[in-house]
Amino acid sequence: MTPIGILGGTFDPIHFGHLRLAEEVAQQLALSVVRFIPSGKPWHRDPPGATPEQRLEMVRWAIAGNPHFVLDEREVRKNSPGYTVETLTELRREIGGEQPMCLLLGADAFLGLPTWHRWRELFELTHVVIAHRPGFSLLQEQMDCLLREEIEPRMSTGALSLHGLSGGLVMTCPITPLAISATIIRAGIGAGRSPRYLLPESVLDYIQTHQLYR
Ligand code: ATP
């Protein structure tokens, strides 16, 4: 069965690092779709610079025209912390027990996994696919030992094995390294520099029209 991909994030704002991650992992693993799920009120960081509605709208602009990318508004609509384990439990109920699901994480997000609410349960719901990100090492010696123990028996190297199970495997995916982050973009705009070519033109237009991050 063709797996679906899930990419959660604050997307404050969405940028080419997110879009290449989704595109390259989708191609490497032959995913049918990638669902972008912007977070509601993030529980693990400062409040975002843009409102939830604005972050949704920027994702909507960024993925427009790509039939394999879908916007999932559920976490923003809930207006609560929207823990990933709860979102994926809900999704699992909707798509049924058989459909393979892949949670896409950049290396930084993956390394922070042990701080997430009920993180071990995620592996019962989904595969976890880790995309390389400049500045974050995936060497096992540098990982939290709880994380290392959890993933060691789950590591898979073949994309096809992810198609045969609904979840439970872990795989790393090399992608084009792009040292872009939303933090750098927000800081640049705050300092009067243009983020042009770090994110889609449509998102840049939206940021300028709504005077975000100044
Ligand atoms: P911020 O700088 O505000 O923390 P961010 O750029 O890291 O934001 P998020 O919305 O927090 O963006 O990230 C959502 C997901 O996308 C996370 O899994 C993160 O690791 C991944 N990601 C973001 N940027 C990149 C990138 N340049 N390369 C690989 N993965 C990325």
21 lines ligand 1 (CB under 6 A): yes
133 lines ligand 1 (CB under 6 A): yes
Closest CA to 83 of 167, 165, 8, 174: 8
Closest CA to 1 of 126, 125, 161: 161
Q: Classify residue 54 as left (phi > 0), alpha (psi -120 to 50) or beta.
A: alpha
10 lines ligand 1 (CB under 6 A): yes
Cα(17) to centroid of ligand 1, in Å? Answer: 7
Cα 125 to Cα 144: distance, rounded to the nearest angstrom: 22
Cα(134) to centroid of ligand 1, in Å? Answer: 11
- What predicted TM-score, i.e. pTM, was given to this entire model? 0.96
Burial 24-48, CB ≥16 within 10 A → b, else e: bbbeebebebbbbbbbbebeeeeeb
Cα 171 to Cα 48: distance, rounded to the nearest angstrom: 30
What pLDDT, on the 0 to 100 scale, is given for residue 42? Answer: 62
173 lines ligand 1 (CB under 6 A): no
Chain segment 96-130, per-residue pLDDT in tens = 999 999 999 999 999 999 999 999 999 999 999 99
Question: Which CATH architecture describes the domain 4-180?
Answer: 3-Layer(aba) Sandwich (3.40)
Q: Does residue 127 contact residue 162 with C-beta atoms inside 8 Å?
A: yes
Q: Does residue 162 contact residue 100 with C-beta atoms inside 8 Å?
A: yes
Chain segment 146-187, per-residue pLDDT in tens = 999 999 999 998 888 999 999 999 999 999 999 999 999 999
